[in-house]
Amino acid sequence: MSRNIKIIVNGFDEQVPAGSTLAQLVELFEEQHPELVAELNGRFVHPDDYAATVVAEGARVEFINAAFGG
Report pTM: 0.88
In single-letter form, the type of residue at position 29 comes to F
Q: What is the pLDDT along the chain (70 residues), one digit of tens a residue?
A: 579 999 999 999 999 999 999 999 999 999 978 889 999 999 999 999 999 999 999 999 999 987 665 5
Give the Cα separation of 70 and 11 in Å (integer): 27
Q: What is the pLDDT of residue 37?
A: 92
Give the Cα separation of 56 and 39 in Å (integer): 14
Does domain 4-61 fall under CATH 3.50.40.10? My reply is no
Domain boundaries along the sequence of the chain: 4-61
Q: What is the pLDDT of residue 34?
A: 83
